Amino acid sequence: MSQHHKQHPRRYLHALALLTALTPQTTAQENHNSKRGLAYVGNTHGTDNALLTSTKSPISWYYNWSPYPPSQVPSQNLEFVPLIHGVDGASDPQTARQIDSLPQSSTHLLSFNEPDGTTGSGGSAIEPDDAAKAYIEHIVPLRERGRKWKISHPSTTGSGNGLDWLRKFNESCYKIDKQNGCPTDFIAAHWYGNFEGLAGWLGTLNEYYNTNTSRNPPLKIWITELALPQLDADANAQMMNQTLPYLDSQDYVEKYSWFGAFRPQDANGWTGDGVALFDGDGGLTKVGALYMGGENRGFKEGQRGEEGGDGVQDGARHMSISWGLLLSLTFAAGIFSTL
């Protein structure tokens, strides 16, 4: 630092602070704190993936029902959450090796997808007794292994069958280990239906795991599949307008992910295409624009991503940032010339 600057340290620091305030900042930390994630089914459209992982995106994490992260998601800003789908995967030594090889940003692990469901619908179809044995033998040790994974209980369907399965699973856990049962760090839940049903299901799980126990601190809930199936985009958007603010406001809800990171032609017959975040040409649907944070975050219906860059096809926004940076530097240069 020159002798002239040493004589005016306070003015120098004020100028630096002003330059920092005027220079556009990234939203990486804001994204990291976001609850919003993706249930990623494998979108092969590069522009869609670029938009989802752009610097303005509110998405902070994703999973794909597997311990193997997909090559189509290039962003290093998202936490990949591995999932051990069933008993065979849990007992395979390669699964543990793969999980240990993941980036250090991966800290949470999902277990057993819809064990109360059928394999034809994507479930793992596991009896509660068998799930408890496999969970204690293969999943629980990961909590003390390497990075000390935070593990979830199995994610059942959002139904009476799901709750009944969880009760039997926990009973089986304590038959095997009377002291500890099946330890868990968070709860994973699925919901396909309207907002009122979602709020009721989350309340039921919170009551079962937290209110009716002496557990302290209470377990957080992750909603890892969420959508309003077999209805159009307008109905899904209405449901989302109710749901997202509610989930963001609930302390016991830690994360959630919408099932719909695809185009209509890639939707399955059961959910229908009203849940899709993208239209047939890769533009954001009404649902997609809402999930990405809307115009407050620089996203609007019909907006498409682009290959490379930050994934947002919006020249005006880039130009405004460039002009803002130029003006900031020019202003700061004037300040420094007077110091």
Tell me the domain boundaries of the chain. 30-306
Nearest CA-CA partner of 225 in 250, 199, 193: 193
104-129 in b/e burial notation, b at 16+ Cβ within 10 A? eebebbbbbbbbbbeeeeebbebebe
How far is the C-alpha of 286 from the C-alpha of 117, rounded, in Å? 31
Structure tokens at 95: 């699964």
Identify which of 131, 26, 32, 24 has the alpha carbon closest to the alpha carbon of residue 79: 32
CB 89 within 8 A of CB 67: yes
Q: What is the DSSP letter of 34?
A: -
> Which residues is 220 bridged to in the sheet?
186
> What confidence score (pLDDT) does residue 306 get?
86
Domain topology for 30-306: TIM Barrel (3.20.20)
Contact between 295 and 314 under an 8 Å Cβ cutoff? The reply is no
E strand spans, the chain: 36-39, 61-63, 79-80, 83-84, 108-111, 150-151, 186-192, 220-227, 253-258
Indicate the DSSP class of residue 12: H
Give per-residue burial for 14-30: e unless 16+ CB within 10 Å, then b. Answer: ebeeebeeeeeeebeee
Cα separation of 232 and 274, whole Å? 4
What is the predicted pLDDT for the residue at 19?
A: 38
pLDDT less than 50: residues of the chain: 1-29, 309, 313-333, 335-337
- Contact assessment for residue 257 and residue 37, using Cβ atoms and an 8 Å cutoff: yes
**pLDDT of amino acid 6:** 37
Q: CB within 8 A of 307, min separation 6: which ones? A: 46, 47, 50
DSSP state of 269: T
Name the pTM for this structure. 0.83
What pLDDT is recorded for position 325?
Answer: 40
